[in-house]
């Protein structure tokens, strides 16, 4: 086994993650913009030692890509965090209630200071589920379809998914984005209750349910979506 290789510095220091893919025809390097993971994909019979040496040749490129990534955004007293596309300030005080409460652009948080991040994320997840469930069921009525369970998670590869039985699952981080982005994602998933594909008929249904062209929302996620994963 070859020695471990790291890229970046400080909190951004990342190990080279190696994986083999049976159908891969060549070695490939990629940096996950949502996590900062540096991944080396190897064909089934390729030498791992050779692959690591090959990755080392691209150290300059890898370091440059890591430098472009968003910085981790801590959830702590005084921090500004996104909520529905706008910044709100985490206003912590031991005198505040332990029930998180938003007033204007201040998010009041009480309890122990070391629990602030946990409380804020729990509040964001509750707000996300409430908004996503409400919009999903409203648009489903408009579409004339039924939906099953609406749930949230923290997936790394998609913003939403719709199963054949009508259950819909979203990333809770959509509540951090502007409302038009969240609504577009909901329309996309509900449209899958009409067409379980991405055919022209699906696209037409998606646009009808959203009420406008969903491209600006997709463009926003392409440009800014990865940054939402750096909160917390």
- Is the predicted pLDDT of residue 229 greater than 90, yes or no? yes
pLDDT of residue 1: 46
pLDDT confidence bin for 205, thresholds 50/70/90? very high
pLDDT of residue 35: 85
pLDDT of residue 55: 94
pTM for this predicted structure: 0.84
Q: Which tens digit of pLDDT belongs to each residue from 134-183? A: 999 999 999 999 999 999 999 988 999 999 999 999 999 999 999 999 99
Q: Which tens digit of pLDDT belongs to each residue from 80-103? A: 999 999 999 999 999 999 999 999
CB proximity list for 221: less than 8 A, separation 6 or greater: 159, 177, 181
Q: Which tens digit of pLDDT belongs to each residue from 18-32? A: 999 989 999 999 998
């Amino acid at each position: 086994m070859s020695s471990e290789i790291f890229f970046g510095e400080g909190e951004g220091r990342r190990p080279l993650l190696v994986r083999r893919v049976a159908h891969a025809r060549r070695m490939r390097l990629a940096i996950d913009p949502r996590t900062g993971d540096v991944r080396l994909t190897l064909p089934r019979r390729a030498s791992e030692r050779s692959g690591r040496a090959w990755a080392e040749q691209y150290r300059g490129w890898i370091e440059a890509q890591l430098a472009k990534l968003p910085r981790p955004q801590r959830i702590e007293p005084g921090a500004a965090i996104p909520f529905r596309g706008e910044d709100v300030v985490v206003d912590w005080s031991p005198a505040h209630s332990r029930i998180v409460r938003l007033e204007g652009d201040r998010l009041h948080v009480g309890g122990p200071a070391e629990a602030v991040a946990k409380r804020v994320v729990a509040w964001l997840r509750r707000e996300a589920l409430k908004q996503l469930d409400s919009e999903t069921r409203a648009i489903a009525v408009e579409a004339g379809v039924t939906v099953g369970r609406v749930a949230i998670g923290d997936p790394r590869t998609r913003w939403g998914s719709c199963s054949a039985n009508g259950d819909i699952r979203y990333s809770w981080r959509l509540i951090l984005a502007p409302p038009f982005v969240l609504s577009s994602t909901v329309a996309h998933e509900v449209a899958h209750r009409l067409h379980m594909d991405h055919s022209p008929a699906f696209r037409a249904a998606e646009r009808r349910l959203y009420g406008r062209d969903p491209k600006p929302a997709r463009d926003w996620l392409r440009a800014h979506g990865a940054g939402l994963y750096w909160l917390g």
